[in-house]
């Protein structure tokens, strides 16, 4: 069996150089781990390498299939493909100009994934042979499948505060903005509440950071028990927390202020403001409330 010559400069080569080039091509054809199938212009199998035979379970080797029509070759192992009809359709398309050079991936019934692409070879002006290159892409396909499962988990984790399990700043902004947009469309008022934990630094200084972390975790638990599941609660960083109350008609902000030190801003769908503006307002009101209470305690 002569190997397909993909590229050569035989016009000016000596017979010795030609034999050497053919020997190298033969060695490459025999040794490559990728399956190689060469189809003649009349649609018959011109050559296959050992890797192709191993890939498709052709135990007797190339002599079993060389000379067959391509359709006869597919009939030997088309049942290996999970979707036989779809594979045969794509295989026929690959024989046309539109299918040449396009890599395709196919699952097999034994759990493997094979990729193939079709490359034309031959002299200009003559009908080309088609070189089918097959590669076992099982490991890459499984890696992609694992990545597809892991990626949503990683994305979800990137929205969460590691210590408290609440949303972090990124998660809060990503989830709160669509809620504000919906509230503006539905003319539904909302409340944005800014919270901080008083005395976190003294706790860390006197009792250690483990005690400070526990105080933050306890604050998150209080917020969860105070607000509803549909409300968006987040730790923005340090000792700062924020809550978007998604239906202000169900909440009495004065009652909340009596229970916890909050700064509150109201979202008015009639004159909507940005999330950043609401956060800034709530932050300023919280600190005014804290100053007012400190002045009251001093008198």
Q: Is 261 among the residues known to form the active site?
A: no
Q: Token match 């033969």: residue? A: 26
d(CA 134, CA 128): 19
- If we measure between CA atoms, which residue out of 190, 204, 191, 195 comes closest to residue 290? 195
Classify residue 107 as exposed, middle or buried by CB count within 10 Å of its CB (0-12, 13-18, 19+): middle
Place of tokens 């483990």: 210
Pairing status of strand 190-196 against strand 240-245: antiparallel
C-beta of residue 176 within 8 angstroms of C-beta of residue 282 = no
Q: Using CA atoms, how far apart are residues 83 and 105, in angstroms rounded to an integer?
A: 12
The alpha carbon torsion through 264, 268, 269, 275 (nearest 10 deg) reads: -40
Q: Which region holds residue 7: left if phi is over 0, alpha if psi is between -120 and 50, else beta?
A: beta
Choosing from 161, 196, 231, 239, the catalytic residue is 239
Active site residues: 239
């Amino acid at each position: 069996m002569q190997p397909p010559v993909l590229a050569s400069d035989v016009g000016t080569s000596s017979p010795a150089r030609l034999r050497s080039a053919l020997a190298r091509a033969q060695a490459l054809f025999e040794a490559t781990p990728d399956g190689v199938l060469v189809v003649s212009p009349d649609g018959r199998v011109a050559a296959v390498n050992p890797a192709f035979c191993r890939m498709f379970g052709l135990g007797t080797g190339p002599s079993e299939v060389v000379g067959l029509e391509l359709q006869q070759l597919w009939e030997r192992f088309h049942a290996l493909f999970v979707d036989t009809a779809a594979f045969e359709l794509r295989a026929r398309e690959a024989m046309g100009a539109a299918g040449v050079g396009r890599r395709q991936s196919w699952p097999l019934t034994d759990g493997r994934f094979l990729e193939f692409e079709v490359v034309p070879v031959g002299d200009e002006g003559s009908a080309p042979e088609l070189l089918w290159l097959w590669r076992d892409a099982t490991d890459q396909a499984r890696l992609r499948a694992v990545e597809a499962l892991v990626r949503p988990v990683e994305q979800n984790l990137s929205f969460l505060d590691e210590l408290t399990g609440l949303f972090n700043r990124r998660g809060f902004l990503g989830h709160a903005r669509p809620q504000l947009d919906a509230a503006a469309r539905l003319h539904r008022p909302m409340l944005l509440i800014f919270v901080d934990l008083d005395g976190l630094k003294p706790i860390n200084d006197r009792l250690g950071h483990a005690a400070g972390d526990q105080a933050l975790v306890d604050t998150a638990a209080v917020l969860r028990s105070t607000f509803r599941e549909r409300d968006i609660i987040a730790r923005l960083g340090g000792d700062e927390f924020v809550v978007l109350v998604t239906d202000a008609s169900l909440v009495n902000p004065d009652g909340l202020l009596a229970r916890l030190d909050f700064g509150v801003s109201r979202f008015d769908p009639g004159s909507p403001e940005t999330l950043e503006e609401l956060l800034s307002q709530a932050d300023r009101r919280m600190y005014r409330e804290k100053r007012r209470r400190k002045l009251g305690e001093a008198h």
